Homo-oligomer: A and B are copies of this chain.
Amino acid sequence: MIKVGIVGGTGYTGVELLRILVHHPETELKVITSRSEEGVRVDDMYPNLRGYTDLAFTVPDADALGECDVVFFATPHGVAHALAEEVLNSGARVIDLSADFRLKDVPTWEKWYGQEHGAPGILPEAVYGLPEVYRSDISKARLVACPGCYPTSVELGLIPLIEQGLIEDQLLIADCKTGVSGAGRGAKVGSLFAEAADSFMAYGTSGHRHLPEIRQELKAAAGGKDINITFTPHLAPMIRGILATLYAQVPGQKIEDLQKIYEERYANEPFVDVLPAGSQPATRSVKGSNVCRLALHYHEDTGQVIVLSAIDNLVKGSSGQAVQCMNIMFGLEESMGLQHVALMP
| A308: chain B residues within 8 A (beta carbon) | 202, 205
Determine whether the beta carbon of B243 is less than 8 Å from that of A200: yes
The reply on A80 being an interface residue by CB < 8 A is: no
Given contacts A48-B341, A341-B19, A344-B46, contact A230 B299 (CB under 8 A): yes
Determine whether the beta carbon of A195 is less than 8 Å from that of B345: yes
**Number of copies of this chain in the oligomer?**
4
- For window 281-337 of A, CB contacts with B under 8 Å fall at 281-289, 291, 293, 297, 299, 302, 304, 306, 308, 310, 314
The reply on A15 being an interface residue by CB < 8 A is: yes
Complex partner residue of A287 from B15, B281, B343, CB under 8 angstroms = B343
Complex partner residue of A342 from B48, B173, B240, CB under 8 angstroms = B48
Determine whether the beta carbon of A189 is less than 8 Å from that of B199: no
Given contacts A200-B283, A239-B345, contact A289 B48 (CB under 8 A): yes
Given contacts A47-B293, A285-B47, contact A245 B175 (CB under 8 A): yes
Instruction: For the complex, give the distance between the alpha carbons of A189 and B183 in Å.
Output: 12
Given contacts A205-B280, A278-B206, contact A194 B177 (CB under 8 A): no
Complex partner residue of A237 from B171, B238, B314, CB under 8 angstroms = B238
Complex partner residue of A193 from B51, B177, B191, B293, CB under 8 angstroms = B191
| A344: chain B residues within 8 A (beta carbon) | 15, 19, 46-48
Determine whether the beta carbon of A230 is less than 8 Å from that of B177: no
Instruction: For the complex, give the distance between the alpha carbons of A183 and B187 in Å.
Output: 13
Instruction: For the complex, give the distance between the alpha carbons of A54 and B52 in Å.
Output: 32
| A193: chain B residues within 8 A (beta carbon) | 180, 191-193, 195-197, 237, 239
Determine whether the beta carbon of B185 is less than 8 Å from that of A194: yes
Determine whether the beta carbon of A237 is less than 8 Å from that of B240: no
- In this complex, how many residues of chain A approach chain B with their Cβ under 8 Å: the count is 83
The reply on A273 being an interface residue by CB < 8 A is: yes
Instruction: For the complex, give the distance between the alpha carbons of A245 and B205 in Å.
Output: 10
Complex partner residue of A23 from B52, B341, B343, CB under 8 angstroms = B341
Q: Which residue of B lies closest to A191 (CB)?
A: B192
What are 16 residue pairs bridging A and B, where the CB atoms are less than 8 Å apart in the complex?
A19-B344, A22-B341, A47-B281, A50-B273, A51-B291, A175-B232, A177-B177, A179-B200, A191-B192, A200-B238, A201-B310, A202-B245, A206-B299, A228-B302, A239-B345, A287-B343
Residue ranges of A at the interface with B (Cβ–Cβ < 8 Å): 12, 15, 19, 22-23, 46-52, 171, 173, 175, 177, 179-181, 183, 185, 187-189, 191-203, 205-206, 228, 230, 232, 234, 236-241, 243, 245, 247, 249, 273, 275, 278-289, 291, 293, 297, 299, 302, 304, 306, 308, 310, 314, 339, 341-345
Q: A173-B173, A198-B239, A206-B299 are in contact. List 16 more A-B contacts (CB 8 A).
A: A48-B341, A48-B343, A181-B345, A187-B187, A187-B188, A191-B194, A198-B240, A199-B241, A199-B287, A200-B283, A201-B283, A205-B278, A205-B297, A205-B306, A230-B247, A236-B237
